[in-house]
Structure 1
Amino acid sequence: MPVERTENRGADELHRYYEVYETIGSGGFAKVKLGRHIATGEKVAIKIMNKKDLGDDLPRVKVEIEAMKNLSHQHVCRLYQVIETSTQIFMVLEYCPGGELFDYIIAKDRLSEEETRVFFRQIVSAMAYVHSQGYAHRDLKPENLLIDEDHNLKLIDFGLCAKPKGGLGYELMTCCGSPAYAAPELIQGKAYIGSEADVWSMGVLLFALLCGYLPFDDDNCMVLYRKIMRGNYDNPRWLSPGSILILNQMMQVDPKRRLSVRQLLDHPWVVKDYNSPVEWHSRQPLGHIDEDSITEMAVNMKRSRESTTALVKEWRYDHTTATYLLLLSKKQRGKPVRLHPEPAVCEDSCSPLDILHFSEDEDAVIVGSLDLSSEYIDDCPWISVTQQGFRGQPDGLTNNKNVVCEIWDGYGFCCVFCSKKDRDQEQTSENKENIVVQEKEVEIFALPLPRTPASSKKNARHNKNVLTTPNQNANAINSKPNAVTPKGKKNLLVIQQMIERLNQTMCFHRSRSLDMAGTGDSGKKKRGGKMFGSLERGLDKVITMLTPSKRRGLRDGPRKIKAQYNVTLTSQTNPDQVLNQILSILPEKNVDFTQKGYTLKCQTCGDFGKVTMAFELEVCMLQRPEVVGVRRQRLKGDAWVYKHLVEDILSTSSI
């Protein structure tokens, strides 16, 4: 099979079941994007990896996928689905909006003993379960623990894990993991027991939580290794006797004198204030099948419960597995176990979706109909949107007179017919300054429509001529003839023709909503309102997107976000002043950077030009309190070196 066709199939499958949004994390060989599972409405994290870029790390990804398929625990990040092509791997994972535990430590400087105990009990629970399944993690550190929406920890990154064929008592030889968390026996090159090495790493992690820094640290690796092999470290004065004792018992140089995870479950320091050992068993083991979730899937798929159960029990980690696990997650959080109806697709109107491409310098945002929280607001509307909310015809229909386009209307995709002539007008070379188009036959771009009218008040501030009735649609454009350049007139002609063809659709849905008002329940009434508002706001976004006069190359100001663990608060209210102060300091710290608006992509290089550290600093405005903040994000390099460097930059900037 041709590579290109295989690539398209992978991206097509992803976008068939998920709405994909902006990048929320990135690393050396992967990007993580926020997504939403269409059928359940649940947010997910989508990890996108290019096999060519992975190189020698590809086996590590395979190991991680295999391990996560076999693990199901309340404190282990859940894998929902894997999509693999000849060139790419997509991993659909549990979304943890709280970010890394590492950022939480930085924000708090250090944690209290009480809060540390809450987190550490969860870490012990996760590790006891992982070990019970025969795995050693071998890369335990704050960067590999995420905080979910309920402020609970989720263990991630099983790329270095090992599952010895002879069981956990079987000795391993591979030296791996982060040096600062590595056990002495690994550094010495001796054979070691994976579970014992994990306990040492847990001790280092516990010290970092209680103290805000590492017990063994040095810029010189050889000096660091000598410190670890001696096992000597200084206890700060604020540590309680109980904390000092458990740390000493976990960070024993001799692994046979070290505490085991089983001993940690009911250790006096761990059970203090709880009066009960740590519960480590999985609340939802993979063998358990939830009847409510199966019933909902069976109804939605029009299958029997027996055949649906058999399908789920195959655990293929395809869309069926993802749907079941996400329904189960909804039930556990007290949400209704319901699936949205699948989008109504007109005959042969869907085309294969373009493969997702990304590079180090490009964060291609794929906007969907998710009502994003304000920390994800991006004020720059000039994004080419082809994947979500609007579909064009397949290649086989490129010569047809009419093109079938689909726009999400709140119930499903409603069909809009656009003549090929209209499309040709949009593709003229004069339109290049408005939208980046592809060389092949191009679908008409349209921004996807929000499912709820929650943001209508905000939109009303910027767009006074919000489309309210079908008869007003054309007037909303014609009333401002001077608002566009001559080069944009053809775009507006396309919009007008689209609006005219949508009038009947909108009137139909309005009447349907009115018909439902007397017969349906309150939920149906609300749904009809959401649909109609979505159509109107969507058309308004199309006008904004295709009108040259509204184009803005850069944001008018910094992004507005909520306070997060990776945001440093300043005492200033002028973002430009904060940005200039940081810009003046970076050269002094030998930090190279590129600037894009209020975001600085920074990096440091070694003696031979190799990038040793990469991170982002973004000047932003916080909503509450209304002050300037600096968002920090580590992209590459040692986490604690990054911490010291960023703290040095921000303190020297006097912000």
Structure 2
Amino acid sequence: MEKLLLSKGYQLGNTIGEGTYSKVKEAYCRDQQRKVAIKIINRQTVPKDFIHKFLPRELQIVQNLDHKNIIKVHEIWESDDGKICIIMELAEGGDVLEHIKKEGPLPEELAKTLFRQLVAAIRYCHDCGIAHRDLKCENTLLDKSFNVKLADFGFAKNFRTGTAELSKTFCGSTAYAAPEVLQGVPHESIKSDIWSMGIVLYIMLCGHLPFDDSNIPKMLWLQQNGVAFPQHLELSRECRDLVGRLLEPDCSLRPPIQEVCFHPWLSDSQ
């Protein structure tokens, strides 16, 4: 693999991320004289279901994405021994979770700036008929200017815009999963994305998960009873209201992304 990458002008560096079925390495592109990220997926070691169902979707989706708050894919190729390489823009600021672990929760105004960018990325996806289905702090990356770059479309799915297309697939992380996903009922993936965004925003503001995911039945009960904020945390009424709307357990009452964009907390300053 390293020889192939070198022959194409890429010098491999450190591993900067590992997914369930992939590894992401930093690399230097000699031709363009810049650092990139390379996601490597080995066909030989991943489940057949992933190869036939999820991987073709990811490869098709990421090649067509073009938004300033989404990681840009430069090229995709496959080696003779079945390793797929996705050459991507490098987010040098790491991910939001790493930042929070180092620096603590974000001040409300900074959380607003970053979350507004995440909302823009998801609106673009949903308008293009793409549900992300694995939104979490680890997939919300930051560039060196501290701008959001949404990553990892490994579980993403196309849907027909304007239709309530239902999915039964469990995707993503339990801690970020909407109640309807955890319950295994047919659901709209775009509404589940909205819930996951609520978890991301809560973690940005509070520095921890809103619901303990170590006990799923208890977690479902807590989700139905609404989100609670740490008592010491001073947050604006509009901010608390948006988190509550995003983490609405009844998915029929959860706002679509177009509505989220115009929430008072996000639209009060541009």
Normalising by structure 1, we get a TM-score of: 0.39
Paired residue type of 1:250: L
The equivalent of 1:540 in structure 2 is none
The equivalent of 1:184 in structure 2 is 179
Counterpart contact for 2:5–2:12, Cα < 8 Å = no
Pick the aligned partner of 2:196 from 190, 201, 217.
Answer: 201
Find out whether 1:16 has 2:7 as its counterpart.
yes
**Structure number having the greater strand percentage:** 2
Q: Write the distance in 1 (CA, Å) between the matches of 2:45 and 2:91.
A: 26
Q: Write the distance in 2 (CA, Å) between the matches of 1:177 and 1:231.
A: 23
Residue 167 to residue 158, structure 1, CA distance change in 2 (3 Å) = farther
Residue 26 to residue 197, structure 1, CA distance change in 2 (3 Å) = closer
Find out whether 1:119 has 2:114 as its counterpart.
yes
The equivalent of 2:28 in structure 1 is 36
Counterpart contact for 2:26–2:36, Cα < 8 Å = yes
Render the CA deviation track for 1:476-534: whole Å, top value 9, x for unaligned: xxxxxxxxxxxxxxxxxxxxxxxxxxxxxxxxxxxxxxxxxxxxxxxxxxxxxxxxxxx
Render the CA deviation track for 1:410-432: whole Å, top value 9, x for unaligned: xxxxxxxxxxxxxxxxxxxxxxx
Identity %: 32
The equivalent of 1:60 in structure 2 is 54
Counterpart contact for 1:14–1:83, Cα < 8 Å = no
Q: Write the distance in 2 (CA, Å) between the matches of 1:168 and 1:210.
A: 33
Cα deviation, residue 16, structure 1: 2.5
Pick the aligned partner of 1:261 from 247, 257, 260.
Answer: 257
Q: Secondary structure at the match of 2:166?
A: coil
The equivalent of 1:47 in structure 2 is 39
Paired residue type of 1:24: T
Q: Write the distance in 2 (CA, Å) between the matches of 1:252 and 1:31.
A: 34
Render the CA deviation track for 1:35-69: whole Å, top value 9, x for unaligned: 22222212111122221122343343332221101
Find out whether 1:96 has 2:91 as its counterpart.
yes
Find out whether 1:158 has 2:153 as its counterpart.
yes
The equivalent of 1:447 in structure 2 is none
Render the CA deviation track for 1:621-653: whole Å, top value 9, x for unaligned: xxxxxxxxxxxxxxxxxxxxxxxxxxxxxxxxx
Paired residue type of 2:82: T
The equivalent of 1:563 in structure 2 is none
Q: Write the distance in 2 (CA, Å) between the matches of 1:54 and 1:26.
A: 17
Q: Secondary structure at the match of 2:125?
A: helix
Cα deviation, residue 79, structure 1: 0.8
Counterpart contact for 2:36–2:90, Cα < 8 Å = yes
Q: Write the distance in 1 (CA, Å) between the matches of 2:179 and 2:31.
A: 49
Residue 205 to residue 26, structure 1, CA distance change in 2 (3 Å) = closer
Counterpart contact for 2:178–2:196, Cα < 8 Å = yes
Cα deviation, residue 21, structure 1: 2.9
Residue 216 to residue 177, structure 1, CA distance change in 2 (3 Å) = same
Q: Secondary structure at the match of 2:262?
A: coil
Render the CA deviation track for 1:96-118: whole Å, top value 9, x for unaligned: 11111110111122111000001
Q: Secondary structure at the match of 1:92?
A: strand
Which structure has the larger Rg over C-alpha atoms?
1
CA RMSD of aligned residues (A): 1.9
Q: Write the distance in 1 (CA, Å) between the matches of 2:95 and 2:181.
A: 26
Greater RCO, CA 8 A, separation 6+? 2
Cα deviation, residue 231, structure 1: 4.0
Cα deviation, residue 255, structure 1: 1.6
Q: Write the distance in 2 (CA, Å) between the matches of 1:110 and 1:146.
A: 16
Cα deviation, residue 165, structure 1: 4.6
Cα deviation, residue 29, structure 1: 3.8
Q: Secondary structure at the match of 1:123?
A: helix
Residue 80 to residue 192, structure 1, CA distance change in 2 (3 Å) = same
Pick the aligned partner of 2:70 from 53, 65, 76.
Answer: 76
Q: Write the distance in 2 (CA, Å) between the matches of 1:251 and 1:265.
A: 16
Q: Write the distance in 2 (CA, Å) between the matches of 1:141 and 1:153.
A: 12
Cα deviation, residue 240, structure 1: 2.3
Render the CA deviation track for 1:292-336: whole Å, top value 9, x for unaligned: xxxxxxxxxxxxxxxxxxxxxxxxxxxxxxxxxxxxxxxxxxxxx
Q: Write the distance in 1 (CA, Å) between the matches of 2:172 and 2:213.
A: 17
Cα deviation, residue 26, structure 1: 4.0
Counterpart contact for 1:252–1:258, Cα < 8 Å = yes
Counterpart contact for 2:226–2:247, Cα < 8 Å = no
The equivalent of 1:653 in structure 2 is none
Pick the aligned partner of 1:248 from 229, 235, 244.
Answer: 244
How many residues get paired? 264
Residue 204 to residue 136, structure 1, CA distance change in 2 (3 Å) = same
Q: Write the distance in 2 (CA, Å) between the matches of 1:53 and 1:67.
A: 22
Paired residue type of 1:21: L
After the TM superposition, which segments of 4 or more aligned residues of structure 1 sit over 4 Å from their partners?
A: 10-13, 165-168
Render the CA deviation track for 1:84-135: whole Å, top value 9, x for unaligned: 1342111111111111111011112211100000100000000000001101
Q: Write the distance in 1 (CA, Å) between the matches of 2:73 and 2:28.
A: 14
Residue 168 to residue 128, structure 1, CA distance change in 2 (3 Å) = farther
Residue 30 to residue 195, structure 1, CA distance change in 2 (3 Å) = closer
Q: Secondary structure at the match of 1:257?
A: coil
Q: Write the distance in 1 (CA, Å) between the matches of 2:214 and 2:158.
A: 32
Residue 18 to residue 206, structure 1, CA distance change in 2 (3 Å) = same
Q: Secondary structure at the match of 2:187?
A: coil
Counterpart contact for 1:101–1:142, Cα < 8 Å = yes
Q: Secondary structure at the match of 1:256?
A: coil
Paired residue type of 2:101: I
Paired residue type of 2:47: G
Q: Secondary structure at the match of 1:98?
A: coil
Q: Secondary structure at the match of 2:71?
A: coil
1:167-178 correspondence to structure 2 within 5 Å = 169-178=164-173
Q: Write the distance in 2 (CA, Å) between the matches of 1:266 and 1:26.
A: 34
Render the CA deviation track for 1:149-191: whole Å, top value 9, x for unaligned: 2211111111111112575532222122211211112222222
The equivalent of 1:145 in structure 2 is 140
Q: Secondary structure at the match of 2:167?
A: coil
Paired residue type of 1:192: H
Q: Write the distance in 2 (CA, Å) between the matches of 1:50 and 1:212.
A: 34
Counterpart contact for 2:40–2:84, Cα < 8 Å = yes
Q: Write the distance in 2 (CA, Å) between the matches of 1:167 and 1:42.
A: 41
Q: Write the distance in 2 (CA, Å) between the matches of 1:218 and 1:149.
A: 32
